[in-house]
Amino acid sequence: MAKKSSSGGFLGGISEARKMEIIGILVMSLGGLIGLSILSYSASDYTLIQSLSTESLFSIDRGPALRIQNGLGVIGAYLSHFFVYKLFGYVSLIIPIVIFFYGWFIFRNREIYQLLWPTAYAIWSMVLISTILGWFNTEYDWYSSVWSGEAGIGTARILQNITGIGSIVILAVFLVTTLLALLDRDLQATVDRVKGWTTDIKSSFNNWQEDRQRKKETKKKEKENEAQQEKVRQHQEAEQRMRQQSNSVNNTERSVQEKTSTPEPEPREKERSIDEIVEQSQQQDRERMRRQQEQVKSLDQRPRADIEKKKVAEEEDDDVDISVYVGEGDEQADERELDKQNQDKAKEVPRVKYKFPTIDLLDSPPNEGNEVDLEEIKENKRIILDKLKRHKIEIRSINAIVGPTVTLYELDPAPDVKISKIESYANDLKMATAAKGLRIMAPIPGRSAVGIEVPNGKRETVYLKSVLNTKKFVESDYELPIAFGKTIENDVFMVDLSLMPHLLIAGATGSGKTVGINTIITCLLYKCHPDDLKFVLIDPKKIELSLFQKIETQFLATIPGADEPIVTDTSRAQETLESLTKEMDERYDLLKDGMVRDIRAYNKKFDNGELDEEEGHRHLPYIVVIIDELADLMMTAGKQIEEPIARLAQLARAVGIHLVVATQRPSVNVVTGTIKANFPARLAYQVASKVDSRTILDTGGADQLIGNGDMLFTNGGGMTRIQNAFVSTEEVEKITDFIGNQRGYNNKYELPVINEESSSGDIPDPLEDIDELFESAAKIIVLHQQGSVSLLQRKLKIGYNRAGRIIDQLFNAGVVGPYQGSTARDVLVEDEEELEELLDELDEFER
């Protein structure tokens, strides 16, 4: 519903949208009436109205006024005299047409500034055409002045005075170029339209094929399901028979054992279908990861011929060639291209009026490209060769690739040199170059060369604008594109977060993590509409992400009743993560209901109107959860935080929930095995030690980085060194102001309410809604002597919330002790015998 205007009075009750519609109609009518008066212009009307007295206008007998031929009467006679006679003749018709269009734009609530260029074009055409017609009027008496008006004739005369007969040639040239400009625009538009049609036809054909395929698969699955259910039914019947037999033998035993072994067709089926979705999406992820790894590899193996090459003069005292390369980097896009694309994208979502941040909010780099210090390169070459010569290692040639932060020296050793030997002299080389951050790759992955990265004396800041304003970023069709920065070859390094699917970041304090997170968020803000993306920001340090509270109504998702848009305390963080797991479960149900495999297919189906809103279907935005400082959370809440993170990381990829988790302390008790196993994409800034580097990257290297956004990225395959793009706090502020000052959504995106009792230990009535798995759960807990939610999740293959609920019921029944934070609850029942007694008591109590 349109929001009512808050101002009081008569207009106070009218919504903004309705006001615009009324104004639009008024303006369109004005245009229509002026048009009518011009079209019905009659030269005699003006003489007639001059003879009319004011009284005659107000007399009931209209008399002479009746003779006015203009469709708008006396007013029309005046208006048309002004427009047709005084201004540009009938060509003045362009003016009411323009006014009409303005009215239409207001009526449809469209951006008026889009009419600026067409208005200028229309006015220019009006002056030009009336001048051409006026020119004929001045030359040929027979030609009526109503076509050009006095203004047209006047401009034609002035032109004739200045340029004589050449004036008609000039006018003809203007006319042709004006027409060309119009034709050109339309031609492009026509070509685009035709292209659009062919792609539409293609995509609907593909959709049709996909649909057919899907239907086939669904039928197959249904058949399988039926067969499975039949099996389960038979199994149940057999059990039933057995139960009846054993009933007479041992009544007590039956109650516990049978319930444990009875299969549950409904939840099983649900689990199975979720498993299928997960399995399929994992398979897709593996495939994507393989492609990304290939991409990274191809970066390493790229022929050097396609980058700009400069050769340093050879030195006299040695005969080793050195060639210096500077990557040309990615092609820059037109300054306005991203903005234009975003304007179109915003129009496609009429649900909310939204303007993407414009590229000019980002600072322009002071100078393009990085300077190459040839002296420094020569000096490093000399040191490297010198050292290696002393160890009798012969090098045939050297390539130096100058990146924004480091220069990579690629050494081509003589055939008899053992490459691993060079690595053993790493420390020696480090001492000799006195360079902090020297990294040796022996060999460079996929090549038979040795790489030595030496930091540049003067490093180049990679401005975010120079990364975002490239064709690569602008034209990318990634769902969640992140352009981290530039590689050593000056290429923009870009990934799709929706494919990664989660990202683990580590870096010592001051290494550039916060800037890195700001880069990630900014990239997403420049490419994603708030309808398609929400952030959940968890910031225990309280200040790092506070800048983003301004975009609350557009981009932030919170739990209901949250007092702050950014989560800063641990218990809230825990609640939020649990709520996210619930959102994930709900999304899986929606996907299952919609019979689709992932969020893309689901949204496509929903947007095509194939899913019913009344059945709870909705457009699902991606949710990017950013945790800045995992260590703080893990130290205070441990398992309570780890569990939902691991569960989200394992399962949430298909439903569009992605995690970006950063930590200063990548120690094993923060980045635990469970967390690591579920985060294949890792990003390391400079860390304090080799051990830290191993924890995050599974290998050394991050300890050799040199801070300020120097980073290593791996997605399970190779490792890429990147200089993180720099975005300043001021730039982020400008962007968040730009977005935050817009009206946004009436309601924030709220995550589902979690079952309070499952996390806080509130006590539900023990006799109400006892879970079917209650007794099985009790047995498991007593058997393992461990009152933990995750144990039940694993053993019973159920969700976190359900497991939590059962634990609370077990607490009420006296099987486990109270909630004790990060450690598991105490088990109060010693063995199965005691448990059976307790359950019997409970049975009696129920009766």
Query: Is 508 among the annotated ligand-binding positions?
Result: yes
Contact 794, 780 (CB under 8 A): no
Applying CB under 6 A, the span of 127-135, 294-302, 363-371, 510-518 interacting with ligand ATP comes to: 510-518
Q: Which is nearer to ligand ATP, 622 or 726 (CB)?
A: 726
CA 273/CA 222 separation, integer angstroms: 11
Applying CB under 6 A, the span of 295-303, 370-378, 513-521, 551-559 interacting with ligand ATP comes to: 513-521
Least distance to ligand ATP from the beta carbon of 226, Å? Answer: 56
Least distance to ligand ATP from the beta carbon of 467, Å? Answer: 10
Residue position matching structure tokens 């009467």: 73
Least distance to ligand ATP from the beta carbon of 375, Å? Answer: 24
515 binding ligand ATP? (CB under 6 A):
yes
775-780, long-range: CB < 8 A, 24+ apart: 775/255, 775/256, 775/259, 775/260, 775/839, 776/259, 776/260, 777/803, 777/806, 777/807, 777/810, 778/810, 778/813, 778/815, 778/829, 778/835, 778/839, 779/256, 779/260, 779/832, 779/835
Q: Which is nearer to ligand ATP, 228 or 728 (CB)?
A: 728
Q: Which of 31, 134, 507, 680 binds ligand ATP (CB under 6 A)?
A: 507
For residue 415, whether the previous peptide bond is cis, meaning omega lies within 30 degrees of 0, is: no
Please enumerate in sequence order all residues whose Cβ is within 8 A of that of 262, keeping only pairs 6 or more positions apart, or say none: 236, 239
Three-class DSSP category at 537: strand
- Per CB under 6 A, contacts with ligand ATP among 104-143 are none
- Total Cβ atoms within 10 A of residue 742: 15
543 binding ligand ATP? (CB under 6 A):
no
Query: Is 729 among the annotated ligand-binding positions?
Result: no
Q: Which helix (H) or strand (E) holds 801?
A: helix 800-812
Least distance to ligand ATP from the beta carbon of 462, Å? Answer: 7
Q: Which of 42, 80, 281, 514 binds ligand ATP (CB under 6 A)?
A: 514
Least distance to ligand ATP from the beta carbon of 701, Å? Answer: 17
Least distance to ligand ATP from the beta carbon of 454, Å? Answer: 19
Residue number with the smallest Cβ distance to ligand ATP? 709
Applying CB under 6 A, the span of 223-231, 365-373, 505-513, 823-831 interacting with ligand ATP comes to: 505-513
Contact 403, 327 (CB under 8 A): yes
Query: Is 511 among the annotated ligand-binding positions?
Result: yes
Q: Which is nearer to ligand ATP, 228 or 461 (CB)?
A: 461
Query: Is 514 among the annotated ligand-binding positions?
Result: yes
CA 782/CA 832 separation, integer angstroms: 7
CA 473/CA 495 separation, integer angstroms: 10
Applying CB under 6 A, the span of 189-197, 447-455, 508-516, 766-774 interacting with ligand ATP comes to: 508-516
Query: Is 223 among the annotated ligand-binding positions?
Result: no
- Per CB under 6 A, contacts with ligand ATP among 467-486 are none
The radius of gyration of the chain's CA atoms, rounded to the nearest angstrom, is 37
Three-class DSSP category at 316: coil
CA 772/CA 776 separation, integer angstroms: 8
Least distance to ligand ATP from the beta carbon of 630, Å? Answer: 12
- Per CB under 6 A, contacts with ligand ATP among 656-685 are 664
CA 39/CA 27 separation, integer angstroms: 18
Q: Which is nearer to ligand ATP, 99 or 706 (CB)?
A: 706
Pairing of strands 719-724, 481-487: antiparallel
Per-residue binding letters, 694-733, with ligand ATP (x by CB under 6 A) = --------------xx--------------x-x-------
Query: Is 512 among the annotated ligand-binding positions?
Result: yes
Least distance to ligand ATP from the beta carbon of 338, Å? Answer: 21
Query: Is 513 among the annotated ligand-binding positions?
Result: yes
509 binding ligand ATP? (CB under 6 A):
yes
Q: Which helix (H) or strand (E) holds 225?
A: helix 166-249
**Helical spans, DSSP H, in 348-440:** 374-390, 419-424, 426-433
Least distance to ligand ATP from the beta carbon of 439, Å? Answer: 18
Contact 128, 172 (CB under 8 A): no
Query: Is 167 among the annotated ligand-binding positions?
Result: no
Q: Which of 69, 461, 667, 689 binds ligand ATP (CB under 6 A)?
A: 461
456 binding ligand ATP? (CB under 6 A):
no
Strands (E), 668-774: 681-684, 710-714, 719-724, 749-750
825 binding ligand ATP? (CB under 6 A):
no
User: Footprint of ligand ATP on this chain (CB under 6 A)?
Assistant: 461, 507, 509-515, 664, 708-709, 724, 726
